[in-house]
Amino acid sequence: MKIKIERALISVSDKKGIIDFAKKLESFGIQIISTGGTYKALNEAGVKVIKIDELTGFPEMLDGRVKTLHPFVHGGILANRKIESHMEQIEKAGIKKIDMVVVNLYPFRETIAKPDVTMEEAIENIDIGGPTMIRSAAKNNGSVAVVTDPGDYDIIIDEMVKNDGFILRKTLFSLSIKAFKHTCEYDSYIFNYFIKKISEHGSDNIKIEEALNVDNTKALHEVMAGSNIFKNEDGTFKDEMKLSIEKKQNLRYGENPHQKASYYKFSDALPSSFVMAEQLQGKELSYNNILDGNAAFNIVKEFEKPCVSVIKHNNPCGCAIGKSIEDAYARAYAADPVSAYGSVVASNYKWNQKATEFLMDKYVEIIIAPDFEDKAIEMLSQKPNLRVLKINFDLNNYISKIKNNDSSIMYPDVKSVEGGLIIQDSDMGADSFEEMKVVTDAQPDESQWADLLFGWQVVKNVKSNAILIVKDETTVGVGAGQMSRIDSTKIAVEKSQGKCEGAVIASDAFFPFSDAIDIAAENKISAIIQPGGSIRDEEVIQACNKYGITMVFTGKRHFKH
């Protein structure tokens, strides 16, 4: 079964491809009706189009809030062509059939993602007529084509070309499913936005339970959790969850060329999250690029001072704090120049011209920053394959939320296992200095404390077992992913290339034996920070006292598998 398209109503917020689509519809002899800004765009492009108020005999009003809510519109859409009485009724009323509805909605989601958006702005971007037309057309999908995705324009035209202007029944049904999904997601954004605003507007005169028409049960708690798709209001993970995920892009392949892969994002992803990064130039991101880019930016975004990380295979081969971004990058690169070949580089400050000058003679896969100087972008364009990512990230706001233990900026860590997922809180934020304890006779001096705290912040981003050697708030040796802590220690020392004297060690977990302390002493390490908690802690402390090494216990482990 198939239907012939004779009249189409077009009203779109996202006008990508709409002029070309309308012209192709017109080539089939289809009469086009349109509204507001869409009418203007089509008319100026030379498309013969009827304005909506010519159809309804009623002008658009209330600043465009009312324009398509009319029987001449919805009667034409909803009339079931198989029911004779429907066709008699619309003919008697002078209503003409509408066979195609091309609608996408006001940009509510994009509006509320803007910083400092007001409630009034959000409300004015709640579409009323659009969802109503979509639902009408989707309900009557046996007779009407409903088109909500610009990506379907070419598919529809190809089908009409092959079928002399007709669209197949199976296509109409598929389009209706997509349409209902579109309006469902749209309403969920509005719902979650208003739920979050309850605390601002108060609920003294109405019970929230009554307003939401739900009992004060688990259902209410899930509603009150707003856009947190993982957790209940009390912070526990939900017994059941429905993940709202959208495809961001297909990837050429996964970790290896024989593995297929795609890139997805949560529907409520924060603008400051890695998945929302804007690619300014360069080749398409690969699966491994995405993992390394996320790891690189997760390190730097927790430091207040200029910080740069250099990542290879999901581990930092260099990370440093500097007086400026160019200083931090030079330090991080110098930590392990050999491993930095083909690396991913991330900065927590605007990327500038001087840092770009330092980068230009190096092979870098990706550079990530909250912003870029115009001159830096101009220079980076000379390396067209270099991927340049800009993240809408406010460092001061992020650090402030970390200090206030605001969990709204921290997505849970989600990993797949065969047949399921495991989910945990993310290991984000700085650990409390006040909860750390010096357990040796020797006390850290000011510079040692700076290095110890820097190392402790970075080591949680290194695969376990992890040993990090730090000097002057710069990594000088990284031992990652080994099966024994002693091996990680040896690798970190070797990577330091003789720079251990006066440096400190950060260990992501306790030392089970004092053998790593012996290696630290041989290489003139001055201080160590670690969680503590081994049955041999006393033995390890005594070894440090023997060598005059300062040791700090944090009381917290930072494994990363």
Question: Each residue of 63-122: pLDDT tens digit?
Answer: 555 556 666 676 778 777 777 787 777 777 777 788 888 888 777 766 666 667 776 777
Separation between Cα atoms, residue 426 and residue 376, nearest integer Å: 33
Task: Say what the pLDDT of residue 239 is.
Answer: 79
Q: What is the DSSP annotation of 231-268?
A: B-TTSPBPSS----EEEEEEES-SSSTTS-EEEEEETT
> 40 an active-site residue?
no
Q: What is the DSSP annotation of 182-241?
A: HHHHHHHHHHHHHHHTHHHH--TTS-HHHHHT--TTHHHHHHHTTT-SSB-TTSPBPSS-
Instruction: Indicate left, alpha or beta for 164 from its phi (over 0: left) and psi (-120 to 50: alpha).
Output: left
Task: Say what the pLDDT of residue 216 is.
Answer: 40
SS3 for 138-185 is HHCCCCCEEECCHHHHHHHHHHHHHCCCEEEHHHHHHHHHHHHHHHHH
454-482 mean pLDDT: 95
Q: 517 pLDDT band (50/70/90 cuts)?
A: very high
Structure tokens at 257: 């060329």
Structure tokens at 18: 């709409």
- pTM for this predicted structure: 0.66
Structure tokens at 499: 């720079």
Question: Each residue of 16-69: pLDDT tens digit?
Answer: 888 888 888 888 888 888 887 788 888 888 888 888 776 765 666 565 555 566
Separation between Cα atoms, residue 64 and residue 59, nearest integer Å: 9
Helix (H) or strand (E) holding 343: strand 343-347
Catalytic residue among 305, 313, 350, 556: 313
CB 322 within 8 A of CB 347: no
Please state the φ and ψ torsions of residue 57, each to the nearest 5 degrees: 70, 20
For the cut 50, the answer to whether the pLDDT of residue 219 exceeds it is no
Separation between Cα atoms, residue 356 and residue 325, nearest integer Å: 10
Nearest residue to 406 (alpha-carbon basis) of 297, 293, 278, 272: 272
Separation between Cα atoms, residue 505 and residue 523, nearest integer Å: 11
| Of 86-90, 205-209, 455-459, the least confident | 205-209
Helix %, strand %, coil % of the chain (to 5) = 40, 20, 40
> 162 an active-site residue?
no
Q: How are beta strands 245-251 and 49-51 bridged, if at all?
A: unpaired
Q: List domains and CATH numbers for the chain.
A: 2-195 (3.40.50.1380), 269-403 (3.40.140.20), 433-553 (3.40.140.20)
Catalytic residue among 139, 221, 283, 401: 139
